């Protein structure tokens, strides 16, 4: 039985520091865009209610859209580094 010549490198889970950077990269731009987009509509709400609304919108965006893409980019980056001479 022949073994494939293409190498697949397991990248493993992100370190605590990598995860912190990925979360920051996901949360900051998302909240910035939401604030710029919805800020005028939410300015009359109290800070707690405004934060609740923003977080309710941001968490699914970060969890289901942004973080999977950042994990994919991290995996591609680490695979590229591992295959470089």
Spans of all domains in the chain: 16-83
Please give the Cα distance from 85 to 75 (Å, whole number).
18
Handedness of CA 37, 41, 46, 51 (dihedral sign): negative
pLDDT of residue 5: 43
Give φ, ψ of 14 to 5 degrees: -65, 150
Mean pLDDT of 1-5: 47
Identify the residue whose tokens are 């680490």: 78
Please give the Cα distance from 82 to 6 (Å, whole number).
13
Does the global pTM surpass 0.85? Answer: no
Q: How far from each other are the two terminal CA atoms of the chain, in whole angstroms?
A: 28
Give 10-40 pLDDT, tens digit per residue: 789 999 999 999 999 999 999 999 999 999 9
pLDDT of residue 4: 45
């Amino acid at each position: 039985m022949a073994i494939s010549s293409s190498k697949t490198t397991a990248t493993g889970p992100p370190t605590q520091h990598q995860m912190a950077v990925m979360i920051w990269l996901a949360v900051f731009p998302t909240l910035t865009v939401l604030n710029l987009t919805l800020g005028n509509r939410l300015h009359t709400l109290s800070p707690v209610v405004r934060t609740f609304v923003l977080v309710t919108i941001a968490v699914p965006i970060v969890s289901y859209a942004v973080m999977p893409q950042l994990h994919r980019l991290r995996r591609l980056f680490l695979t590229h580094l591992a295959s470089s001479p």
